[in-house]
Structure 1
Amino acid sequence: MHDIYLFSITIVAIAIVILGVSWWKWHAYLSLSVATLFLAIFAGMPFGKITTAFETGVGGVLGHLVGILALGTILGKMMSTSGAGMQIANFFVERFGAKRLPWAMFFSGLIIGIPVFFEVGLVILLPIVLSIQKTVKKNILLLGLPVLAGLSIAHGIIPPHPGAMTAIGIYNANVSEVLLYSLCFALPAGIVAGPLFAKFISKRITPKNEPDLMRPDVIKDNEKLPSAGVSFFIVFLPIILMLLTMIAALFKLPSGLTSIIDFIGSPLIALLISVFVAYILLGFRLGLNAEIIRGLTDDSMKPLASIILIIGAGGAFKQILIDTGVATAIANLSGQMNLSPIVMSFLVAGLIRVATGSATVALTTAAGIVAPIVEQMTGVNTALLVIATGAGSLMLSHVNDAGFWLVKEYMGLTVKETFKTWTVLETLLSFSVFFMVLIVDIFV
């Protein structure tokens, strides 16, 4: 009964967030904070621990994200203001044509999403999406959703992302097999949730708001626009730097050199280096002085205040969900069902994802729950088990997921529009991969 009670008050807490934002017109930060306090109090958490858990949750999520968001936004501002984003937009428009742009955006998201975290890919690619959208005058959903689909499916099931790698270790699966299967599943699932879903939903929803974080503000003097080559170099520089860590591991370089490469290839340092290269190639070389560049940097920071608050409150909500034992309660309820390992791993990961908002937490926690059960069985394909768990960790992103608020703010959506687009997209990815895993499991 206690597990059912925890599950019930979690649903009420999520309802408070949704009603607070959409009906009572509260700021999302306030809605999340009130829902977090409600859940903590009614779950029986001691008052002395509530504020500590709240602060831990805020620090946990922002400690990872705030630097990436700030640097990515600066990079995006330099690209949009210098015209680099427009140059890339013109390149895609000329090469692919307006009708095939959603497919180009999907493959860009998928390729870039393999070596980088979802948040990093988001801040790298969305300025380009906005620039292209301004050029072709199409619904931003038609271009933005395919990018999100590519980034998300790579983050959820493809090694070397941390969730997939952790699950591979827990299940003792073969990395090469998981990589091969995940690439085969990622493509069709991403196409369904990306270009095809974007075409469907863009005819039914047109966002009313203008994205504030990276609104294109292009220099008008065409003679000062950077070349397409320089523009692409700025986009791919942080990705190249991050890929160096994989190359260093592959060639087994000396430990001292590997440590330096790992440092340079970390998302924060790679973006920091890229920002200063952008200052030179997209700023000083185009005639901008230090005062103008500083002004652009200040302008890029201002819209971040709201989203940082929202993501921080979402992190607090997630921490309270974990500390009150909601994830454990869900695992207990799922463990009482007599299911196959693949179905169980998918459902447990999905329920923990809904409860905690973190795909990585859902994937790793579900793998830890299912692995002891699998050890007592024979004939279980552990590579497919990893992917089924990853698929479950993607479903039903909502208000306790930092990605939900990132997508909402970066694309200028309302909460309702984010549910109808991003939440549906994530769920399509999840179930598409799961059904393919079930089919393949029959024959292998």
Structure 2
Amino acid sequence: MRILYINHYAGSPQHGMEFRPYYLAREWVKAGHEVQIVAADYSHLRQHNPQLDSNYADQDIDGIRYTWCRTPRYEGNGLKRVINIFRFLGRVMGLSGRYLKSWRPDVVIASSTYPLDTVPAAFIAGKTGARLVYEVHDLWPLTPVEVGGMSPRHPFIRLLQWAENFGYRKADTVVSMLPCARDYMMAHGMAAEKYRVIPNGVDVAEWQGASEALPAQHREALAALRAQKRFIVGYAGGHGLANALDFLLDAATQLGDAPVSVVLVGDGPDKAALQARAQQLGLGQLQFLPAIAKRAVPAFLAECDALFIGWRKLPIYRFGINPNKLFDYMMAGKPVIHSVEAGNDIVAEAGAGISVAAEDAAAIAGALRRMAALTPNARGRMGAAGKAFVLAHHDYAVLARRFLQGL
């Protein structure tokens, strides 16, 4: 089978996020399929963007043919990002002759975060007789409206809404990463039988391979806490508003003399403010450590007794959440403290830890104390349940097979 995967922000191990298109495509290549990914050369998500001397460049990465499309740089979510989007869409249309003549796909996947790529994807699928798949990451334009505060009457939002509805009507299959979005999608034109949930996942082989050692600073900090017989709660990831770490700080103020230490590893726009606030509050039980390489994350998680992930209380989460960080936590076999209000709760479903309300510092503090009071065997059972759940439901080898079934 020939699979054309259109994803504006697709990444790879060489370039950085986002990884889902790479992991799925790699599994399809292993199964004998031909896969071509079309992506923009500039994405705000990647650590390293490809450098192009012309409008297009092809690159082979682990048997996947990437076609990079030259687009202008941008910062933030203003006009320059919109220009970047439309330039990419134009480049995809410019490639359509290749797919109509020399490499005719059997499946075309429209997978950019925004829904406008459904239009060139539908054009290529219609001309080649390929099946059209609309893969939905976030609900656009609902996310820019509810989270970003944009007006539903804004011309760009109206255009996005038209494109989303077009995708639901036109696609043969709608693959949703959000497990609770079926009714919303049906209200916007999707037939019920089109709906498939294929969540995010984890590369199990990557986890089972040799991990990178922790930097000396991190090893020494964790060893010192161990020597003091502290219960270590870890956090690995971005230090941004969406991660609700300010409520974790508030929770720490309520721990009293409980022998619990929280170690936060990562970087982000709010890290300096969080550090300043922790110092102001006198939170000696919190430590902020620098970001580490992706391959060193398993080594950090292994040194923790439990792990924390938190969410803002946002209405958009009613359609479900799909956090890659959580799958890493569960693969580490560690119990999870989950502060959440959403349409689904993977931690509760798997029996992998303690779930409490979002934006509730008292509840988070209570969960920290309860987790520390459990026996190592009880925490071990939670961690084992989480890992088993990920292996059964979120291994990319499993997800890739499920994606193609019935297409």
The TM-score with structure 1 as length reference comes to 0.27
Higher helix share: 1
Structure number with higher relative contact order (C-alpha < 8 Å, ≥ 6 residues apart): 1
The TM-score with structure 2 as length reference comes to 0.29
